[in-house]
Amino acid sequence: MSKIYNVLWIDDEHDHPEMEPFIIQAETMDITLNGYSNFREGFIALNSNLNHYDVILLDALFLEDEKSETVSKKGLGASIAKINELKNKKSFPYFVLSGQPTFTDKENDIIEANNLRCFNKKNPEDVKELLVNIKKEADTQIDLQIKHENQLLFEVLNGYPDSTRDTFISIFKGLKGINNQFDDQLYFTQLRIILETLFRRANAFGLLHDKCVEVNGGNVNLTESYLFLSGLDTNHFKVNCSVTHFPKLIANNVKNIVHTTGAASHTSVVDITQNIHIQAYRKDVNTPYLLYSLALQLMDVLIWFDGYSKENNDIATNQSYWQDIEYDGDGNKFEIAEIIKIAANGWASVFVNNGIKSISVFKGDVATHNLKVSDRVKFTVKDSSVAQNITKL
């Protein structure tokens, strides 16, 4: 997997056919150029997604905004000022590339004042040196180091909101000792929101029932979603899935995240200060390690889901596994299972709860319904381990 370098590139000719060889040359060095024609649009993109970009590349003369009709050096000056202003949030290496002789062949006040060099886009050796320097300078940035050290995760995160990537970069910085002061309320909420996004994606693939996700923009019920994807009965929605999507360890991770962060139901209504277990824990162990452990578990869940959803992306097939849970008049749940064996004494056996619990079928019912191994039956279980209200399917 190649280490990708994302560059914000502001050049009014970024999409001109003459620039195509430069773009291709950059791509061969794993540098992705994200082009904008003017200062305003370029820095709107940067501000909205700071942790996506690693380096800034500026033309010497370009437009101030999309309404400008002529290029000028005002855009360069404004860009450098903005880059300096952003240093308290993120420090960006930046370079100037131009074909203008007034910048490449002569002294220039803006270039000199900022101790810069203007690379000549018409000089192949200059262009090659520029690309090498872009990677060299980018590699010194902690955010990019984190992304390169955890490439698989950040590849997966391309399909998630930008805030997801920001959250995990902050977590990794904490693990590196750069910042290990975290607020439970803020970061536990962020983990729940990321998990909510995963569940919405699961619903889009047909893996998660619509009842667990209020499709028209409402809340995701995290507990019900966890139960459904784990092959368990939902507590309130009276649905389950005949296929268990979550492997055991993934299910355990999700359960731990949901219950530890206090997200018993919806993501937006949880006040971590009201979670007595967390508050009791914090009295004795006031460290960020609980947050780190939950975040690391969630990373594994996201990576697992990315592969699983790609392999199981047939929506109709996935939805065919959805089941409504039926109950008899006394509130006993109807189960559906296959006859596993019929003993010599005439009694039969079935398994429920994902094969965990064995249920016996009375020999009289076996004879009455002419049951055989592999026959599917519908039944209830009341106070014992004996099937009742049997129907052969």
299 and 171 belong to one structural domain: yes
301 and 347 belong to one structural domain: no
Q: How far is CA 248 from CA 44, 218, 287, 321, 389, in A?
A: 44, 29, 28, 19, 32
Query: Is residue 356 included in any domain, yes or no?
Result: yes
Among residues 319, 351, 384, which one ends one of the domains?
A: 319
Among residues 319, 354, 383, which one ends one of the domains?
A: 319
Looking at residues 334-357, what average pLDDT do you find? 87
Mean pLDDT of the chain: 88
242 and 178 belong to one structural domain: yes
pLDDT by residue (tens digit) across 185-223?
Answer: 678 889 999 999 999 999 999 999 999 997 555 688 999
Looking at residues 87-93, what average pLDDT do you find? 92
Q: What is the CATH number of the domain that holds 381?
A: 2.40.50.140
Query: In the prediction, which pLDDT does 368 show?
Result: 92
Q: Is the dihedral of CA 336, 338, 340, 346 positive or negative?
A: positive
Is residue 266 predicted with pLDDT exceeding 60?
Answer: no
Is residue 265 predicted with pLDDT exceeding 50?
Answer: no
Looking at residues 71-99, what average pLDDT do you find? 89
Query: In the prediction, which pLDDT does 177 show?
Result: 87
Minimum mean pLDDT among 142-151, 267-276, 288-297: which range? 267-276
Query: What's the first-to-final CA gap in the chain, in angstroms?
Result: 51
Q: Are 64 and 79 in contact (CB under 8 A)?
A: no
Minimum mean pLDDT among 227-236, 273-282, 340-349: which range? 273-282
Query: In the prediction, which pLDDT does 275 show?
Result: 64
What whole-number distance in Å separates Cα of residue 201 and Cα of residue 312? Answer: 12
288 and 156 belong to one structural domain: yes
User: Range of 384's domain?
Assistant: 334-392
Query: In the prediction, which pLDDT does 274 show?
Result: 59
Query: Is residue 326 included in any domain, yes or no?
Result: no
Looking at residues 262-282, what average pLDDT do you find? 61
Q: How far is CA 327 from CA 39, 88, 211, 239, 306, in A?
A: 64, 60, 18, 12, 35
Looking at residues 349-354, what average pLDDT do you find? 82
Query: In the prediction, which pLDDT does 288 show?
Result: 85
Query: Is residue 327 included in any domain, yes or no?
Result: no
Query: Is residue 350 included in any domain, yes or no?
Result: yes
pLDDT by residue (tens digit) across 125-175?
Answer: 999 999 999 999 999 999 999 999 999 999 999 999 999 999 999 999 999
Number of domains in the chain: 3
Q: For residue 154, what are the contacts with CB-CB under 8 A and spacing of at least 6?
A: 147, 165, 168
pLDDT band at 99 (very low <50, low <70, confident <90, very high): confident
Is residue 116 predicted with pLDDT exceeding 80?
Answer: yes
313 and 207 belong to one structural domain: yes
Minimum mean pLDDT among 24-38, 257-271, 356-370: which range? 257-271
Length of the chain: 393
Angle at 78 between CA 72 and CA 80, to 5 degrees: 115
Query: In the prediction, which pLDDT does 383 show?
Result: 67
Is residue 17 predicted with pLDDT exceeding 80?
Answer: yes
Looking at residues 78-85, what average pLDDT do you find? 92
Residue identified by tokens 């106070």 is: 383
10 and 117 belong to one structural domain: yes
Residue identified by tokens 């392999």 is: 311
Q: Are 10 and 62 in contact (CB under 8 A)?
A: yes
305 and 170 belong to one structural domain: yes
Is residue 320 predicted with pLDDT exceeding 80?
Answer: yes
Is residue 344 predicted with pLDDT exceeding 60?
Answer: yes
128 and 27 belong to one structural domain: yes
Share of the chain above pLDDT 70, in %: 93
Query: In the prediction, which pLDDT does 53 show?
Result: 94
223 and 339 belong to one structural domain: no
Q: Which strands make up the sheet holding 334-338, listed edge to edge?
A: 334-338, 376-380, 388-392
Cα torsion for 201, 207, 208, 213, to the nearest 10°? 30
pTM confidence score:
0.81
What whole-number distance in Å separates Cα of residue 317 and Cα of residue 302? Answer: 22
Query: In the prediction, which pLDDT does 178 show?
Result: 83
Name the CA radius of gyration of the chain, rounded: 29
If one compares 203 and 66, the residue with the highest pLDDT of the two is: 203
183 and 293 belong to one structural domain: yes
348 and 315 belong to one structural domain: no
Query: In the prediction, which pLDDT does 271 show?
Result: 61
Angle at 334 between CA 330 and CA 340, to 5 degrees: 140
Structure tokens at 306: 């990315």
Query: In the prediction, which pLDDT does 264 show?
Result: 45
Query: In the prediction, which pLDDT does 67 show?
Result: 77
180 and 110 belong to one structural domain: no
Q: Among candidates 29, 73, 70, 76, which has minimal Cα distance to 56? A: 76
Is residue 245 predicted with pLDDT exceeding 80?
Answer: yes
Give the Cβ contact number of residue 385 at 10 Å.
11
Structure tokens at 267: 């993501």
Amino acid at 11: D
Looking at residues 315-344, what average pLDDT do you find? 89
